[in-house]
Chain A
Amino acid sequence: MTTADAIAKAVTALAADGAPPLQRAPELEMKNAPSVRVFVAAHHAAINAILCDEERFSLRHYDELLAQVAGPTRYLVGENDDARKLRLRLLHAAQGHVDAVRRPAAVPNDPLPPNLALGYRDFIATIARDEASRILKVLAVRGQTGSPVNFAREYAFLLAYRMARRVVGVSGPDKAPLLVWLMIAYRNWTQAGPKVSLKGEAGTATTMLALLHPLFGHVFGTVVKSTAVMRAITANTARHALASFDLALDKPHLAPPQSLLAGLHAVRGQFPEVSDEHYRVQSRSVLFELAGALVLIVGKSLGEIAGFAVSPQGHAAGIDWPGLVERLAVDDPTRTSHDAVINEMLRLGSSSQLVRTVRNDCTWQGVALNAGDRVLLHIDQASHDPAAFAQPERFAPAPDRPYITSGPLQGPHVCYGRAIAWTIMREAIVATRGQIDPVKGASLSAFLALPDNLAFTAA
């Protein structure tokens, strides 16, 4: 039985009347870790409760997985310890510096935190439009030859990397490591359609994606423990990826002055109590996570949204690509309607799972849990839970819908970069208007669980 089958079996059991909120899935448990039991949650209410209950459900799972392959690097998706709190403070300080540098038009009395502030989102939107238009210009030249455009790799992931490069301030490595060459060669060998190149800027974007992909798979795809091969591959790619961040931290003046890296360098003086080594480690963690999130998650989400919009499922849900573009093109200074559309598209077209570790022996909603047990949160299922979303298969965006596609709705782990990501995706989609359109009958193909090819053509 595959992991997917095991999860599906658990989800089916959870759907039965009177079923408990958690269903044990022994198929997901590891023989070499017999004390760790695995439960699955699929109901929206249960998942939401677990995500918001950090007293019982810890994120240390992610810390442990990272420690296996990336040394002291940690994500904000982890235990809310002192180091994580420091990383959050660093982020806010750096963003404050960026705000000062870019001298934004004053948005008086904006009650939102910096990462959600409309002014900052406008700043991100401006960059996103600029990058999207430049990419689309190149694609327009391509379009004149009649060649199709690979929306996933040549637009979604490339744009995501470009945004990461400008917002975070770290470039990918100039040369792809051997492992990346092998991965791309394998991809080109096994996948139909245009080959992927590792040359030039697009090659750097692909390299960065390839370096981050195993780590994300390792961290977010592992329920209990990953395989030794996976850990080896991840350690190798993470090492190369982190080298780029080390280089960037060594040469902060190479980064754009409005990037978070430049911000972190500039605000070092605000943290005299933090040692240089610790500051560097935590800074690198922040940058690494945000860059990874932008490069991989934004690119992946953008590809999946497009894939859903051009698919029969999208059509059945009541949304297609032109409709999506038009909905997002509507002017909304608050961006709430835009966010709702993105959330709705992710709810319908994306897939994700989260894992929590039971902190102590306890009984939760009638289920006895032992310390160390894993709870797998099936976000896809929760996102289609009729109890939370009326007519869950229909496209019906609304700001007040309880979307959990980006994590908890409240608490310390509310997704920090959500507003940035949603802004980028909105601008990226709107920018295609009149530039590129899906090829009729196109469908999204995947490679190693990531979007790989979606044929578009010049408008």
Chain B
Amino acid sequence: MTVAQDFVTIVIPFTDDTAWSPLRMADVERVLYRLGNPAEVDIAKRLDGTGIIHFLSINVIAPEREGTAPHLLIEATVDGAAQDAVPAIAEALGDALLPALRIVTGVTDADAVPDLLRHHASSITSNPLRLPRQVIGLPFCGTPGVSVAAIRDNQRVVDAARDLIARECLRQPSADAQALLGHVAANLPSPEQAIVCQPQPELAFVDRPDAPWRDPALTSWGLATFWRIACYHRLLLLALLGVPYALLVALLRSGGAGLGTAFAAALVPALIAAGAVVGLFVWLLRRDELANTPIDTTPDPHAIAAMLARENEPGVVQNHMISVTRLRPAAIRRLSLSVAFKAVATLIGTQLMRPGFLSSIGTIHAARWVVLPGTRQLVFLSNFDGSWESYLEDFIKKASEGVSAVWSNAIGFPATRLLFMGGAADGDRMKRFARNSMQPTAFWYSAYPGLTCGAIRKHAMIVSGLRHAARMAPVPADAQAWLDLIGAVPRPAEALQYAEIQAIAFGGLRHHPRSRMIALDFGAPQATDVGNGHPYAHVQRWLADLHAHDLILFGDRPVPSLVANIAFSAAGLARLGLDAEVDGAAQGFPGVFASGMVSDGRRRALGDPEALQWSDASVHAVLLLYARPPADSSDAGADLAAKTAFDAEVARAEHFGLAVRASLDTGLTTFDAAKFAKDWRNSALPDTAAAPNKDDGADDQDNADGLTVEPFGFVDGVSQPQVRGFPGRNGAGDPIHAVEPGEFILGYTDNLGFYPPSPLVTRSLASIGMAPEVLLDAPAAHQPTSFCDFTGEVEPARDFGRNGSYLVIRQLDQDVAAFNQQLTDKADALARQHAVGNPHPGNLHRTREWIAAKLVGRWRDGSPLIEHPIQPVLDGGQTALASNGFALGSSDPQGQRCPFGAHIRRAFPRDSLSPGDPLGLAVTNRHRILRRGRPYRDAEGNPAGTLFMCLNADIERQFEFVQQTWIGSPTFHGLEGERDPFTMHVGTTPIAPGGDRLTIPGPAGGCVIDGLARHVTVRGGGYFFLPGRRALRFLGGQPWAEAQRNTPSAAPASAA
């Protein structure tokens, strides 16, 4: 049923070539108008009956000039060869068309119509010279290979499938994509089943693995692209280069030169000759471009009204347009027009564009450019989806070069440069030109007026999926993509699968201020579990139980009062069956994760102490629990409720045989903006107390929503990467903070456009009751795209890492009292001096706060030193949230506001390392981390430190790089012997005899604060993996599957 589409072009000149031909044109147009646009029901039925006509339009083209004839132009897009379709068109339309043909040619007999149409039918060639029965032009098909019959059949199948799915979802709400696909494949009614069973060649537009348009090397216009084009046009190149070369060789040979000499000597002249030809072409073209005067006139409103009266028919999602222009008189335009046609045809022919797409425009069903024979009239006809306005905007934004290349050969087109540049890029004038050249389409027929190109492709893919249902059954992502097609559109590769990603990736759960981290040890394999094949089945049962109680939160639903996220260490994953992937598999986990945070190499890089209280070496999983206080509860009541809930989860873990190795109660503390402001104001010296403070006075404002404080008293979590695709404002572009999701979530492209390496499972785990081949998706590169290919071979490797992330946890003990005392001591010394850049000499409190701000790069309320170097904003932290888009390098290249060694400049230097250079920003953005840490408390409930947590896709490139190269480097940014004075911890990195120091540059030389002690100590931590939903289900093994079978309604629907 799949056939090639062809283009019928019938151009019939009027017998009346006098000045009075417009009268007969009007007569013909009246006849055509009666046939309809879209076609009248009876006419449409007749054309439907042919079963091969996709689109057909009939128009009258006015004479090029007085004394020449008008033309009747019949154009159709058909299945099969065009010449075979002409009789069908004649049979279907003969009677209806006869009154028009009578006026055009005088024919009165319907029997003569087929011969008449056949006689005037032409094929389309893009060559500058045409043969008889050819017209110069360029056809374009938007749904290649899909026949009219297939389009209609596919729609029937899709309708039936939708009906089956709707009923099955009512019956079985928890049915997942794989189940629904199987249900539809097995239960289609017989007629639709027969359609599905018909053999079909592959769909041209789907993303086959070897599709050229997916090859970045080709689509980026490198050498590979040009080589491919050269191969495509080898005969043409041979003619252009080879023939002159051969002639020169022959000439030299005839002059007595030897064969070798002739070959060598002819090369350069041949190239020069070819270059001269090209140069001549360019010169002539450019000369004519400069001679062109763009016609920039407002389209006639009456003409526009006439066109609009025949566009946007209610119930029809397509439109048709016809434009008639006249080629410029210069002879070179015949050649340049063919060059333009060839250029576009080459992009289509070499499949550098997806078949059916013009550039990235996928809304064109069928279009063609043709030059009417014997005239210089260039006619453009197109059948497209949506409105004319959107269609032209697509051209302007996505394919202006191609449009310019063709249309600039016409009189009055907006000015172009070298055929391709300019022109249509001037969108408004291009549209005026287009409207001025258009006329209402007299008659237009569409075989499927209610279907867009997208719907046609989607239907074809759905049927293809059903045809290959057996192949797709064990591939979750493919089945999901198929189901997505039924519902709306397939998930684009870059679209995040929120439902598959644990919720902590999307935010810090600030509405759940009480939290606890539980570090768990799986314990020894349990002998009683050997029977089911998995030595840690007790862990799997625990996981299944967590799932059954719907405790693990993913990013797809409202957050309940008690939620958990879970991550596993390398040792934990090894115990759960991924031992090979952790230890040595070619596509397994990276070494940094496998070796863990406390291995010698990592410890040295991070400057960590010799021993930790707990680490990933002994902890197999961490359970992160978060609780929202009950409504109207007191702090004490909320604490108690949270503790009860957390303790219950501890008990649950212990019930399944797991042991708690560490437990930290964490929680958020709101920044006390009012107190901070009050202290600042009260600290004013007598002689400055009355001085107006333009930023002051906001001290009674509420704390900005979401600002929490870390134990040293600074607002925390202000500056985070803005991840494209994350919910909320994170989806917006941000020149400083925008990063790609692949920087944090495996399975998506990173800032460089590549998929980060992800741990794969390439072996069977059936012996321990685990089924990666069914439960895990294919690697990212093999994920179904928006144009899914359901026919290819199934990739055997399964991606465990997809939708997961590496979680770094570090328990950082903070000596708050010592930190504050150090600040006081340093301020006491500095406040006495007047020439060190301190703007608050003599004011101990403010000097103290100024030093604290210099350590961090922000004031305690989060307002950045870059923008507020003298004093904090005191607006409740709102500035901190709203004003985080500053650049460091270009705003403060000498560090006079925010010192080079300040914490925020080290943690994320922005453009500091190469001021003003976007590349520099791109480099630093390769080292971003998503921070999700919280302060933790001691046994008495006092802030004791920070449980630092961050997500990243590459621990070495991101967390470790930041820690080692920026935070902990003594030579960061050209400094000497300085480390992050705020967060650098006590460990193996040497401290200068006098202590660490901070250089505070200033206009008068600034100052150096030395003798700084470290007040942060690493107590524990490790590298963990935060799995996606499918990976977690996979780890749960048979117990999870059994739990799901037993409680089907509890299983969350696996919707993207």
Chain A positions within 8 Å of B, measured between CB atoms, are 130-131, 134-135, 137-138, 141-142, 158, 162, 165, 171, 174, 197, 199-203, 247, 251, 253-257
Determine if B26 is an interface residue (Cβ-Cβ < 8 Å).
yes
B471, CB-defined interface residue at 8 Å:
no
Bound CA span A251–B99, Å: 9
> Given A130, A197, A251, A253, which contacts B18 in the complex, CB threshold below 8 Å?
A197
| A134-B22, A162-B23, A253-B95 as given contacts; A199 in contact with B34, CB under 8 Å | no
Number of A-B contacts (CB under 8 A): 56
B interface, over-half SS? helix
Cβ–Cβ contact A253 & B16, under 8 A? no
Q: Flag whether B30 is at the interface (Cβ < 8 A).
A: yes
Q: With A134-B23, A135-B23, A141-B66 in contact, do A256 and B18 touch (Cβ < 8 Å)? A: no
Contacts A247-B108, A254-B108: A138 and B20 contacting too (C-beta < 8 A)? Answer: yes
Chain B interfacial positions (CB closer than 8 Å to A): 15-24, 26-27, 30, 34, 66, 95, 98-99, 102-103, 106, 108
Distance in angstroms from A47 CB to nearest chain B CB is 39
CB contacts (< 8 Å) of A253 on chain B: these are 95, 98-99
Q: Which of B16, B22, B24 contacts A137 (CB 8 A)?
A: B22
B24 near A201 with CB under 8 A, answer yes
Closest chain B residue to A162 by CB distance?
Answer: B23
Query: Cβ of B108 and Cβ of A141 under 8 Å apart?
Result: no
Assuming the A-B contacts A141-B66, A256-B30, are A251 and B20 also in contact, with contact meaning beta carbons closer than 8 angstroms in the complex? no
Q: Is the CB of A254 within 8 A of B98?
A: yes
A130 to B26, CA, bound (A): 10
- By the criterion CB–CB under 8 Å, are B106 and A200 in contact? no
Known: A134-B26, A251-B108, A256-B30. A201 touches B21 (CB 8 A): yes
Q: List 21 A-B contacts (CB under 8 A).
A: A134-B23, A135-B23, A137-B22, A138-B20, A138-B22, A141-B66, A162-B23, A171-B103, A200-B17, A200-B18, A201-B16, A201-B21, A201-B23, A203-B18, A251-B102, A253-B95, A254-B102, A254-B108, A256-B30, A256-B99, A257-B34
Q: How far is the CA of A137 from the CA of B16 in the complex (A)?
A: 17
Closest Cβ of chain A: how far from B415's Cβ, in Å? Answer: 28
Given the contacts A134-B26, A135-B23, A256-B30, A202 and B18 also touching, CB distance less than 8 Å: yes
| A174:B106 contact, CB within 8 angstroms | yes
Q: Bound state CA distance, A317 and B454, in angstroms?
A: 73
Taken together as a complex, chains A and B put the C-alpha atoms of A174 and B103 apart, in Å, by 9
Interface pair A199/B16, CB less than 8 Å apart: yes
Residue of B at shortest CB range from A161?
Answer: B23
- Would B20 and A202 count as touching, CB distance under 8 A? yes
CA distance A135 to B18 in the complex (A): 13
Interface of A is mostly: helix
Chain B residues, Cβ within 8 Å of A142:
19
> Which residues of the other chain, B, contact A131 by a CB distance below 8 angstroms?
23
Q: Nearest Cβ in chain A — how far from B835, in angstroms?
A: 88
Complex Cα gap A65–B210 (Å): 87
Apart from A171-B102, A201-B20, A247-B108: 18 A-B pairs, beta carbons within 8 A? A131-B23, A134-B26, A137-B22, A138-B23, A141-B19, A142-B19, A162-B23, A199-B17, A200-B20, A200-B21, A201-B21, A201-B23, A202-B20, A203-B18, A251-B98, A253-B95, A256-B99, A257-B34
Chain A residues lying within 8 Å of B22, measured Cβ to Cβ, are 134, 137-138
- Enumerate the 3 nearest inter-chain pairs by beta-carbon distance, A residue then B residue, closest first: A200-B18, A200-B16, A201-B20
B15 partner residues in chain A, CB cutoff 8 A = 174
Q: How far is the CA of A112 from the CA of B24 in the complex (A)?
A: 34
Q: Chain A contacts of B20 at CB under 8 A? A: 138, 158, 200-202
Is there contact, CB below 8 Å, between A138 and B99?
Answer: no
A165 cross-chain contacts in B, Cβ below 8 A? 27
State A254–B30 Cα separation when bound (angstroms). 12
Q: Please determine whether B30 and A138 come into contact, CB atoms closer than 8 angstroms.
A: no
**Nearest CB on B from A100, distance (A):** 16
Q: Which of A130, A135, A137, A138 has the most CB of B within 10 A?
A: A138
Residues of B contacting A256 in the complex (Cβ-Cβ under 8 angstroms): 30, 99
CB of B490 to closest CB in A, whole Å? 48
User: A residues within 8 A CB of B17?
Assistant: 199-200
B residues in contact with A174, CB < 8 Å? 15, 106
Q: Is the CB of A201 within 8 A of B18?
A: yes
Roughly how many angstroms separate A254 CA and B113 CA in the complex, as a whole number? 14
Q: Which residues of A contact B18 (CB under 8 A)?
A: 197, 199-203
A137 and B21 CA atoms in complex are apart in Å by 12
Query: How distant is B42 from chain A, measured CB to nearest CB, in Å?
Result: 13
Q: Which residues of A contact B30 (CB under 8 A)?
A: 256
How many angstroms between the C-alpha atoms of A268 and B267 in the bound complex? 83
A257 to B18, CA, bound (A): 27
Complex contacts, B34 vs chain A, CB 8 Å: 257
Q: A8 to B1056, alpha carbons, bound, how many Å?
A: 102
Q: Chain A nearest CB: distance from B836 CB in Å?
A: 87
> Shortest distance in angstroms between A115's beta carbon and chain B's nearest beta carbon?
23
When distances are taken between beta carbons in the complex, the residues of chain A under 8 Å from B16 are: 199-201
Closest B residue, CB atoms, query A205: B20
Instruction: Give chain B nearest CB distance to A243 CB in angstroms.
Output: 12
Q: How far is B16's CA from A255's CA once the two chains are assembled, in angstroms?
A: 19
In the assembled complex, the Cα of A201 lies from the Cα of B16 at a distance in Å of 7
Which of B15, B19, B108 neighbours the largest number of chain A CB atoms within 10 Å of its CB?
B19
Asked if A254 meets B99 with Cβ closer than 8 Å, knowing A141-B66, A200-B16, A201-B16, the reply is yes
Complexed CA–CA distance, A134 and B26 (Å) = 8
Q: How far is the CA of A174 from the CA of B105 in the complex (A)?
A: 9
The smallest C-beta distance from B1056 to any residue of chain A, in angstroms, reads 53
Please, how many angstroms separate the alpha-carbon atoms of A199 and B17 in the complex? 8
Chain B nearest CB from A134 CB (Å) reads 6
| Chain A neighbourhood of B26, CB < 8 A | 130, 134
Q: Which chain A residue shows the least CB distance to B18? A: A200
CB distance from B591 to the nearest CB of A (A): 83
Q: Which residues of B contact A171 (CB under 8 A)?
A: 102-103
Nearest residue (CB) in B for A204 is: B16
| Minimal beta-carbon separation of A255 from chain B (angstroms) | 8
Complex alpha-carbon distance, A158 and B99, angstroms = 21
Residues on the B chain within 8 Å of A134, using CB: 22-23, 26
B102's closest neighbor in chain A, by CB? A254
Complex alpha-carbon distance, A388 and B19, angstroms:
47
